[in-house]
Structure 1
Amino acid sequence: MTAPLTSDTLLAVQGLGIHVGGQWLLRDIGFSLRRGEALTLVGESGAGKSLLAQAIMGNLPQALRATGQVTLHGIAHRAEDAAPRRAQWGRGLALLPQEPALALNPLARVAPQLAEVYRLLRQQPPSAARAQAEQVLHAAGLGGAGGHYPWQLSGGMAQRAVAAITLAGGAPVLMADEPTKGLDAHWQGHMVELLRGVLQAGGCVLTITHDMRVAQALGGQVIVLRHGHAVEQGRIDQVMAAPRHDFTRRLMAADPARWQPFATTAPGDSGEPVVRAQGISKAYGTQTLFAPMDLALHSGERLAVQGPSSTGKSTLGNVLLGLVAPDTGRVERSPRLRPHAFQKLYQDPVGSFAPHISLAHQLRDAARLHRRDWQAVQQRLAQLRVPEDLLARKPHQVSGGELQRIALARVLLAQPALLFADEPTSRLDPITQQEAVQVLVHAVQQTGAALVLVTHDPHLAAAVGTRRLDLAGAAAPAGAMLAA
Structure 2
Amino acid sequence: MSAIHVKGLSVSDGRQALLRELNLTLSPGQALTLIGESGSGKSLLAQALMGTLPEPLIGQGQLEVAGHHYNLGTAEELRPLWGRQFAMLPQEPVLALDPTMRVQPQVAEGGFAAPGEGRSQARASLAVLGLGGSERHFPHQLSGGMAQRVAFAAATQGQAQLLIADEPTKGLDSGARANLLGMLQGYLAQQRHLLTITHDLALARALGGWVLVIRGGEVIEQGPAERVLHQPAHGYTRQLLAAEPSAWPTPRFPAKGEWLLKGEGLCMGYGEQTLFEGLDVTLAEGERLAVMAPSGAGKSTLGNLLLGLQQPRRGRVLRREGIAPQRWQKLYQDPVQAFASRVRLGTLFDDLLARHRLPRQGLVEYLERLGLEPSLLGRLSNQVSGGELQRLSLIRALLLRPVLLFADEPTSRLDPLTQQQTMACLDASLGEIGCALLLVTHDGALAARMGERCLSLERGELRRASPNRQPEALAIG
TM-score strictly above 0.5:
yes
Give runs of aligned pairs for residues 94-243 of structure 1, distance below 5 A: 94-118=87-111, 121-122=112-113, 124=114, 126-243=115-232
| Residue 28 (structure 1) shift | 2.0
* Counterpart residue number, 1:3: none
- What is the aligned partner in structure 2 of residue 278 from structure 1? 264
Shift of 1:478: 7.2
For residue 69 of structure 2, the aligned residue among 68, 71, 76 is: 76
Alignment of 1:41-440 (within 5 A): 41-118=34-111, 121-122=112-113, 124=114, 126-268=115-257, 271=258, 273-440=259-426
Letter matched to residue 136 of structure 2: G
> Aligned-pair distance for 1:483?
9.0
AA partner of residue 100 (structure 2): L
The letter of the residue matching 2:289 is L
Question: Which residue of structure 1 lines up, in the alignment, with residue 22 of structure 2?
Answer: 29
TM, length-normalised to structure 1: 0.94
Q: Percent identity?
A: 47
Deviations 1:224-267 (A, max 9, x none): 00000000011110112221111101100111121123221110
CA displacement at 1:71 relative to structure 2: 1.3
Residue type at the aligned position of 1:206: L
TM-aligned CA distance change 1:311 to 1:439, over 3 Å: same
Contact 2:163 2:194 (C-alpha < 8 Å) held by counterparts: yes
Q: 1:445 to 1:43 in 2, by over 3 A?
A: same
Q: 2:230 & 2:330 partners in 1: Cα distance? A: 40
Q: Is the contact made by 1:466 and 1:478 (CA closer than 8 Å) also made in structure 2? A: no
> Cα deviations across residues 435-471 of structure 1 (Å, max 9, x unaligned)?
1111111111111111000111000001100001100
Of the three residues 428, 432, 436, the one matched with 1:446 is 432
SS of equivalent to 1:210: coil
Give, in whole Å, the separation in 2 of the partners of 1:480 and 1:45: 26
Give the drift of 1:57. Answer: 1.1
Mapped partners of 2:455, 2:189: distance in 1: 39
Q: Please report how far the alpha carbon of residue 130 of structure 1 lies from its aligned counterpart in structure 2 after TM superposition.
A: 2.1
Instruction: Please report how far the alpha carbon of residue 103 of structure 1 lies from its aligned counterpart in structure 2 after TM superposition.
Output: 0.4
Q: Matches of 1:397 and 1:193 in 2, distance apart? A: 32
Structure 1 regions of 5+ residues with no counterpart? 1-7
8 Å CA contact 1:342, 1:419 repeated in 2? yes
- Structure 1 residues 436, 127: CA separation in 2 closer, same or farther (over 3 Å shift)? same
What amino acid is aligned across from residue 21 of structure 1 in structure 2? Answer: G
2:25 is the alignment partner of 1:39: no
The 10-residue stretch of structure 1 (140-149 or 418-427) with the greater mean CA deviation from structure 2: 140-149
Corresponding residue SS for 1:445: helix
Deviates more, 1:101-110 or 1:70-79: 70-79
CA distance in 1 between counterparts of 2:469 and 2:166 reads 29
Deviates more, 1:466-475 or 1:383-392: 466-475
SS at match of 2:60: strand
For 1:54 and 1:303, the matched residues in 2 are separated by: 37
3-state DSSP class of the match of 1:206? strand
Is the Cα–Cα contact under 8 Å of residues 19 and 216 in structure 2 kept in the other structure? yes
Shift of 1:341: 1.6
Contact 2:62–2:70, Cα closer than 8 Å, also in 1: yes
Q: In the aligned structure 2, how far is the partner of 1:390 from the partner of 1:29?
A: 24
**Native 8 Å contact 1:306 1:456 kept in 2:** yes
Contact 1:115 1:129 in 2 (8 A): yes
Contact persistence 2:260–2:283 (CA under 8 A): yes
- Give unpaired runs (5+ residues) of structure 2: 473-477
Residue 307 of structure 1 contacts residue 483 of structure 1 at CA under 8 Å; is this kept in 2?
A: no
Amino acid at match of 2:167: E
Q: How many residues align?
A: 470
How far off its partner does 1:477 sit?
A: 6.5
Q: 2:3 & 2:272 partners in 1: Cα distance?
A: 46
Cα shift at 1:479: 5.6
Structure 2: distance between partners of 1:73 and 1:59: 21
Letter of the structure 2 residue corresponding to residue 16 of structure 1: L
SS at match of 2:124: helix
Moved more, 84-93 or 447-456: 84-93
The alpha carbon displacement at 1:9 in A equals 3.1
Q: CA RMSD in A?
A: 1.6
For residues 60-80 of structure 1, give each alpha carbon's deviation from its aligned partner in whole angstroms, at most 9, with x where no partner exists.
223222222211233222322
Q: Which residue of 1 aligns with 2:475?
A: none
